[in-house]
Structure 1
């Protein structure tokens, strides 16, 4: 990457207010993005000799050469569109000036062609976690209460409120009590092929390592999705059905009595020293901008490589933000079997979008575009760098539980809260979330570390952003610097030694199931 035609990431500090800066990612790029916080005005001249012919906002693209009609527009060394008309050098490359290119064909992708020379193992790194009998490790110690049908939400929320107020203070080693609310369970075709996704998601959420095996299930009694389908309940002590109770007070009392039994056992859990290999980290980006692919996501990718070297499990996801860059991923799979699974997840999602008369152009969001991203192709090229450089050892269907260590593609929609829910179901016990536009996103079941792509966002949201990757854009820090900072922070947060801002403010998004099946 090139910062104002200098090697990207050099240590020389530059003042954005004084020096006009742009970032060119690849030597073949014919566009660059503007670094300066307030953008740059017409007539601005860079040391390279480039002169702006109009105002260009921060994060938006400027033409480095004269572009002819239909000529390829290249960023990250890849084609992100073609010019719809001649574009003079120094112009602002607006979304309307690019055509939307076709996605890489799935049937001709190279599979497992990358040299898989292993990186040196990273040894000696540990954290303090909650070890479970099945070998999984929680980074939190919480009582989880799930449900078999949305009808019980009101009663469950009332009961959880009382448990927190009346019981939880007596069990200081338990951090929280949470209801795993969802909108599934009845009025749905539970035997339709698409129903497998929400059902296994609910099942796998119930076995999340932060619950220590002490999950509770609240059912109604007449729903299609029976509570017994969600958890193993040999002695009948895990499930309560509200229709079996004599009125509202009895319903709440039943839930509270079950909760107290589990709080007593959870309170006995202690943190123990665990290898970094016990971390299961989900990588995600939301509220992305044009800096995502050059600051925060590369730093997260560097940290992902460190985690893999330490033996940990790392997820990257968001099918629509992978689809247009999948040709850069299929060579990295460990074998053709994994490559075919990756291709099939892309194909399944193509068909899913087509069935709803939607396509890839539905992504990005208006905020992404305001931050300089012209289309999902550009967004995908910046998104996949969160995966680092490690081989892809497995591919998971939505909500499927991980069984391997290393870098895994966990197929999910790109929606932040749907992706987070599915990564939790796959076993994630630590979440890293990059953002350029800003979002107060958080999860109750796993800590969320937020990484800003721009220093201006960190300054604006000083009590929401945990790591500032914006320093990379101005040469104040390197990708490696921020990657190591993030790696060490993950270990401290997983250990309970440090809190993220989302934890401090108790910012928790609702769980959101992905249900491609029919509703009856």
Structure 2
């Protein structure tokens, strides 16, 4: 008895001349999907099959967008992959469609979560003690101190969720006055005031570094809790009062107690969904990312924006090829101009390194069916939903408005997450098709799998299975609504898988300035 599933393919738009293979393990020659041609060769899962004969030089359309031209003739039922495609040139940043945004989405009321209200009006989804560092030299000392804080102090403060060392590789040996040095500096500055840290700012410094504490955190640069004075709390390791390693550790623990006492008095209160600042991102992407997980995230994005929340989508190289789609959605000409400005800045940045946007796609992306950055971009953009784009922020800046925001960041998972934390993110959504254990210590990360197989194999790493959309078990709307509710639950304290396993990636600063 043959119990194997029927051959299935997914076509994203009626004008497309390719479709992707749904079946686990792909399809063999002779397979006959009901809505496509008989396959003339094996096509792996997620990869594209030609729906019609494609002579050499033919435009290949997916999402009703030309993702490339055939370098060789491909017959109907043939495998369309990166070796057989020539990537088109990047869309010019001149002559882009003018701002013509869709109507604002209808309000969505009545949705709340249990969060920590801060003195500056922001809301944390976690109650964390964060220790900022001015330079990488102190990282080893901080690691030692953090372990002591976790084992000796945290049990005494049950309302504190954890302690986080904000370690990085910046602070000295750098051209601190170079124009682009402002990017890592403001990133660190703004991460220090992330809503999940409650306005309790503690700094660990070496003493001789270029990035001195007062330069990193000048007076008035960060909001503070309503329970402390305005003097910056700095432990400097080169202080003459420190005699021996343990005196340094004792100083860190002594100051940590002061902050933990205040953090422990905080309580969760009912907050409207409009207090959420959600970053959406994808990594380890595959061809299903733009079919299942990212559209579901886009649906949830629309719900969040309707509820008054802030949602940031990012990754410059992963939206660059859809810039014409984005300027049209800009809420104003100024927003469209800001998006173009960020794209142009990044084009120039890549050009300095003698690379272009094609360097983005990874071997795993290609193995998962994404032939090039154009195809990847079309699937990435859908995380932004369907509404107007209300604002743009440059790398390291803090978001200051509600609605849908383009946060201009590199596509690197770790750098993008770091910059979204600096922007004020208090909740993170991360989609993946190939699979990644990515997580952040500073903010809960909800992981969304694009495929049933990944969700099954990584059942204790993925929080949501969007693969049910491809298998026909759920709709985009079903999974989007499920994700929206999960966001509220996680914001209220429910732990994600990454939190349960304590899987945390390092902060990685975007530093386009010179190193001396």
Structure 1 distance, partners of 2:264, 2:298, is: 36
User: Paired residue for 1:246?
Assistant: 243
1:174 matched to 2:160: yes
Q: Does 1:369 align with 2:370?
A: no
| SS of alignment partner, residue 240 of structure 1 | strand
Please tell me whether residue 189 in structure 1 is matched to residue 169 in structure 2: no
Deviation at 1:237, TM superposition (A): 5.1
Distance 1:280 1:151, change over 3 A: same
Partner of residue 75 from structure 1, selected from 62, 75, 91: 62
Pairwise mapping of residues 90-105 of structure 1 onto structure 2 (< 5 A)? Answer: 90-105=77-92
- Mark the runs of 5 or more structure 2 residues left unpaired by the alignment: 220-228
Report 1:29-428 matches (<5 A). 29-48=16-35, 50-114=37-101, 116-232=102-218, 236=231, 238-244=233-239, 245-428=242-425
Following the alignment from structure 2 to structure 1, what is the Cα–Cα distance between the partners of residues 235 and 385?
Answer: 45
Q: For residues 185 and 49 of structure 1, what CA distance do their matches in structure 2 show? A: 57
Q: Is the 8 A contact 2:285 2:432 kept in 1?
A: yes
CA RMSD of aligned residues (A): 1.2
Q: CA deviation at 1:390?
A: 1.2
Q: Find the residue that maps to 2:390 and give its secondary structure.
A: strand
Q: CA deviation at 1:18?
A: 2.2
CA distance in 2, matches of 1:16, 1:396: 52
- Does the aligned pair in 1 maintain the 2:138–2:204 contact within 8 Å? yes
Once the two structures are superposed, residues 177-199 of structure 1 have per-residue CA deviations (whole angstroms, 9 ceiling, x without a partner) of 11000011111111111101000
Does structure 1 conserve the Cα–Cα contact (< 8 Å) formed by 2:339 and 2:392? yes
Whether 2:515 is the aligned partner of 1:519: answer: yes
The answer to whether the Cα contact below 8 Å between 1:16 and 1:35 also exists between their aligned partners in 2 is no
For 2:86, what is the secondary structure of its paired residue? coil
Asked if the contact 1:16/1:474 (under 8 Å) is kept, the reply is no
- Which consecutive residues of structure 1, in runs of 5 or more, have no partner in the other structure? 1-14
Deviates more, 1:233-242 or 1:20-29: 233-242
Aligned partners of 1:16 and 1:36 also within 8 Å: no
What is the CA distance between 1:16 and its match in structure 2?
9.4
SS at match of 1:358: coil
Once the two structures are superposed, residues 281-322 of structure 1 have per-residue CA deviations (whole angstroms, 9 ceiling, x without a partner) of 000000000000010000000000000000000000000001
Equivalent of 1:472 in 465, 469, 472: 469
* Structure 1 length-normalised TM: 0.95
Closer, same or farther in 2 for the Cα pair 1:119/1:459, shift >3 Å? same
Q: After TM superposition, give the deviation of residue 230 of structure 1 in Å.
A: 2.4
Contact 1:277 1:310 in 2 (8 A): yes
Structure 1 pair 518/67, CA: closer, same or farther in 2 (3 Å)?
same
Alpha-carbon separation, structure 2, partners of 1:49 and 1:237: 66
Structure-2 change in CA distance of 1:49 and 1:376 (3 Å):
closer
